[in-house]
Amino acid sequence: MTVSKGYAAQDKTTPLAPFSFERRDPLPTDIAIDILYCGVCHSDLHMARNEWGNSLYPMVPGHEIVGKVTFVGSAVTKFKVGQIAAIGVIIDSCRKCPSCNAGEEQYCEDGMVLTYAQPDRVEGRLTQGGYSSNYVVDERFAHTVPENLNLAGVAPLLCAGITTYSPLRHWKVEPGKKVGIVGLGGLGHMALKFAHSFGAHVVQFTTSEAKRADALRLGADEVVLSKDDAQMKKHENSFDFILDAVSAPHDINAYTALLKRDAAMALVGLPDVPPVINIGNLVFKRAALSGSLIGGMPQTQEMLDYCGEHNITSDVEIVPMQKINEAFERMLKQDVKYRFVIDMATL
């Protein structure tokens, strides 16, 4: 067994605190890594506080993981000891259903295994995430990292990056398309960078006027304060695609009203209260309302390689492990530019 140190929630009300636990002995196809950086996703906060009602404790959150390989099993082909590896939101799946065979493991018909707070498929042991010293994972669910990228800025690509890259690719965001991004948080700022990089005309929607200058710097062609009805109305019937990355309940009909005929809106944000949907906004424009979940293993590697080629990383604020509870509170106040990343050397 590998002994691991981390920060865990013991139930939905207690702050995260130091916690020791064991990880499984590596299998022949496993690698072990020492974690260097872990991003702080809003899902970590939803999960630590059981806002989706499915949390299991004790819980070490964290699924935006970058680390150094310390061990490779005898059947490992992708990694060598000393190399950098990255792990995202899922660490296993059935590996034989149509979704797994298509490399869309996040939609595994037998259920994917999350990086934390789920029994694993090997021993039934509760998985524990990346707010910790190390991880053991099958190499299929780990990724190589382009050498030119800053590693703290890479960590958030493993969730915020792939979760936005995947729907932007699925809905064919490209030059000539007008694309809206709703919410300038961890996911939103990556969506903005990717949509801009793919050559679309990008409009950033935000509730925070103070983020306007940043949005323009990050690649927005226009910024709209979503609370201002006049600014919203100017964009009616004009969007090819809108990606909604908001973490709290809000009016999604204000955005479907802005879609063109045959256009689409995709939801990636997962507020704990379901939205009310104005069906007329969809029916009268043959518009699509869809969702999207992270991304499969091949596309995650494709995204990382794309980031290497185009020099894209997340804008991060590095925090010590001991400040995680403060980081959660600041994230709730929309006070993060634009992702907290824990420096695991501080553990």
| Residues engaged in binding ligand NAP (CB under 6 A) | 41-43, 46, 159-160, 163, 183-188, 206-208, 211, 245-248, 250, 268-271, 292-294, 331, 334, 336
108 binds, among Zn ion, ligand NAP, none (CB under 5 to 8 A by kind): Zn ion
- Minimum Å distance from CB 299 to ligand NAP? 12
Q: Are 320 and 342 in contact (CB under 8 A)?
A: yes
Q: For residue 109, what are its two tokens? A: 């018909």
- Minimum Å distance from CB 316 to ligand NAP? 12
187 binds, among Zn ion, ligand NAP, none (CB under 5 to 8 A by kind): ligand NAP
Please give the single-letter amino acid code of residue 181.
Answer: I
Residue positions counted in the chain: 347
Residue from the set 43, 127, 166, 247 that interacts with Zn ion by CB under 5 A: 43
Q: At what angle do helices 160-170 and 297-310 cross, to 10 degrees?
A: 100
- Minimum Å distance from CB 288 to ligand NAP? 17
Stretch that binds Zn ion, among 86-94, 197-205, 218-226, 261-269 (CB under 5 A): 86-94
Q: Are 178 and 238 in contact (CB under 8 A)?
A: yes
Find all residues with CB under 8 Å of 50, minimum gap 6, and list them. 12
C-beta of 211 vs 235, nearer to ligand NAP: 211
- Minimum Å distance from CB 156 to Zn ion? 9
112 binds, among Zn ion, ligand NAP, none (CB under 5 to 8 A by kind): none
C-beta of 263 vs 321, nearer to Zn ion: 321
- Minimum Å distance from CB 241 to ligand NAP? 16
- Minimum Å distance from CB 204 to ligand NAP? 8
Residue from the set 17, 27, 56, 97 that interacts with Zn ion by CB under 5 A: 97
Buried b (16+ CB within 10 A) or exposed e, 114-129: bbbbbebbeeeebbbb
Find all residues with CB under 8 Å of 109, minimum gap 6, and list them. 94, 97, 98, 99, 100
93 binds, among Zn ion, ligand NAP, none (CB under 5 to 8 A by kind): Zn ion
C-beta of 26 vs 188, nearer to ligand NAP: 188
207 binds, among Zn ion, ligand NAP, none (CB under 5 to 8 A by kind): ligand NAP
- Minimum Å distance from CB 49 to Zn ion? 15
Which class for 112: exposed (0-12), middle (13-18), buried (19 or more C-beta within 10 A)? buried
- Minimum Å distance from CB 225 to ligand NAP? 9
Q: Which residue is nearest to ligand NAP (CB)?
A: 185
- Using CB under 5 A as the binding rule, whether residue 159 contacts Zn ion is answered as yes
94 binds, among ligand NAP, Zn ion, none (CB under 5 to 8 A by kind): Zn ion
- Using CB under 5 A as the binding rule, whether residue 293 contacts Zn ion is answered as no
C-beta of 239 vs 338, nearer to Zn ion: 338
- Using CB under 5 A as the binding rule, whether residue 100 contacts Zn ion is answered as yes
Q: Which residues bind Zn ion (CB under 5 A)?
A: 41, 43, 93-94, 97, 100, 108, 110, 159
